[in-house]
């Protein structure tokens, strides 16, 4: 059973699946009368990531981590220890029959303290166990047996997949991936003004240096939500359809050619500087995201 939790939550003797009123109340589906369930398989094999991972701009020392980040089906999994939950603005709660994660709206300190008493290898497979206890996220029961990326347990710690569903929708985190810089996950809601100003300045410089990529925010008057120079995320509720089309027209004017794929609208430019550049536009309600990618074109 997972350890290093904050406090035990005893079940009441009332309706099955209801936590004591002294704590956050979890409600399981009416059909869930059993305290535990049996997964279709008992374990999976995961590996350590070979790329850099940052949490709130802190690089994770995964080789020496007592509870390392893991990769399963190309998705990064985070251990829900107290340190990681705290850094991501989350609260964990559990008893012998359930484990819950809640977004902590009152959190204010997102500093990550790393436990570096481990010894791990990127070439080794890690056998992780699928839990028989119930999983809850923000008071909602998760049917782990049907999840494509299931919650699992490794070294007695519950691990959650940082998919869009959990990381962004449920936990309110900002994530980004780049083949050069790796995976980044950030809790930014309570950053101070100086940090926000630094981010804004860096992004402004990146836009100027990004080989003719126009500034989406300036053209559409949208507020920048987050970004790191490889992606820029805006509040989509502030942009009209005509303003988005205006931005696309400015890409064409700057020498980009249009193509559409399952990944979104892509604009390529093979003649800017010594690098090829392509811009991907994606809509993730309520965000509009501009991704800038550079690569050496094959001539």
Q: Domain 193-295 adopts which CATH fold?
A: TATA-Binding Protein (3.30.310)
Per-residue model confidence (pLDDT) at position 124: 93
Helix, coil or strand: residue 194? helix
Per-residue model confidence (pLDDT) at position 48: 97
Per-residue model confidence (pLDDT) at position 295: 56
Residues of the chain above pLDDT 90, percent: 36
6 band by pLDDT with thresholds 50, 70 and 90: very low
| 102, 160 contact by CB (below 8 A) | no
Per-residue model confidence (pLDDT) at position 244: 83
46-87 residue pLDDT tens: 999 999 999 988 999 999 999 999 999 999 999 999 999 999
Question: Average of pLDDT values for 111-131?
Answer: 94
| 257, 230 contact by CB (below 8 A) | no
Per-residue model confidence (pLDDT) at position 87: 93
**CATH 3.30.310 spans which residues of the chain?**
193-295
| 65, 115 contact by CB (below 8 A) | yes
Question: Average of pLDDT values for 127-155?
Answer: 94
Asked whether the predicted pLDDT for residue 191 surpasses 80, the reply is no
212-265 residue pLDDT tens: 677 787 788 787 787 766 778 887 777 788 888 888 887 777 777 776 665 566
More confident residue, 291 or 209: 291
Asked whether the predicted pLDDT for residue 286 surpasses 80, the reply is no
Question: Average of pLDDT values for 127-149?
Answer: 93
More confident residue, 288 or 46: 46
Mean pLDDT, all residues of the chain? 74
Q: Which long-range contacts (CB under 8 A, 24 or more apart) does 5-8 make?
A: 5/82, 5/92, 5/93, 5/94, 6/82, 6/91, 6/92, 6/93, 7/93, 8/94, 8/95
Question: Average of pLDDT values for 139-159?
Answer: 94
More confident residue, 11 or 42: 42
20 band by pLDDT with thresholds 50, 70 and 90: very low
> How many whole angstroms separate alpha carbon 237 and alpha carbon 4?
41
CB within 8 Å of 249: residues ≥ 6 apart: none
Segments of the chain assigned E as strands: 43-47, 53-55, 58-59, 70-72, 75-79, 90-95, 98-103, 125-129, 134-137, 140-142, 152-154, 157-161, 174-178, 182-186, 224-227, 231-235, 257-261, 264-269, 276-284, 287-295
153 band by pLDDT with thresholds 50, 70 and 90: very high
Among 53-57, 151-155, 201-205, 256-260, the minimum mean pLDDT is found in: 201-205
Asked whether the predicted pLDDT for residue 122 surpasses 60, the reply is yes
| 257, 245 contact by CB (below 8 A) | no
More confident residue, 113 or 285: 113
Asked whether the predicted pLDDT for residue 24 surpasses 50, the reply is no
| 124, 205 contact by CB (below 8 A) | no
* pTM (predicted TM-score): 0.57
84-108 residue pLDDT tens: 999 999 999 988 889 999 998 776 6
């Amino acid at each position: 059973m997972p350890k290093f939790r904050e406090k035990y939550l005893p079940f009441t003797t009332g309706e099955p699946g209801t936590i004591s009123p002294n704590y956050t109340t979890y409600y399981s589906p009416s059909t869930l009368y059993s305290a535990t369930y049996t997964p279709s398989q008992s374990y999976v094999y995961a590996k350590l990531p070979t790329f850099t991972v940052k949490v709130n701009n802190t690089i994770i020392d995964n080789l020496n981590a007592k509870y390392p980040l893991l990769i399963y089906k190309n998705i990064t999994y985070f251990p829900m220890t107290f340190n990681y939950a705290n850094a991501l603005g989350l609260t964990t709660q559990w008893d012998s029959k359930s484990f819950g994660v809640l977004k902590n709206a009152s959190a204010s300190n997102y500093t990550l303290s790393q436990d570096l008493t481990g010894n791990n290898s990127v070439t080794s497979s890690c056998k992780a166990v699928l839990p028989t206890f119930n999983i809850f996220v923000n008071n909602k029961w998760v049917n782990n047996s049907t999840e494509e990326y299931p919650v699992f347990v490794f070294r007695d710690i519950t691990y959650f997949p940082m998919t869009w569903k959990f990381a962004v929708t449920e936990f309110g985190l900002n994530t980004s991936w780049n083949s050069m810089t790796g995976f980044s996950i950030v809790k930014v809601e309570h950053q101070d003004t100086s940090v926000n100003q630094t981010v804004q300045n860096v992004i402004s410089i990146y836009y100027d240096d990004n080989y003719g990529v126009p500034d989406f925010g300036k053209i559409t008057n949208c507020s920048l939500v987050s970004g790191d120079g490889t992606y820029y995320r805006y509040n989509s509720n502030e942009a009209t359809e005509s303003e988005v089309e205006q931005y696309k027209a400015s890409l064409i004017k700057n020498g980009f050619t249009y193509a559409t794929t399952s990944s979104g609208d892509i604009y390529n430019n093979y003649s800017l500087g010594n690098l090829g550049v392509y811009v991907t536009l994606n809509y993730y309600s309520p965000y509009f995201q501009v991704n800038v990618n550079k690569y050496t074109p094959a001539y």
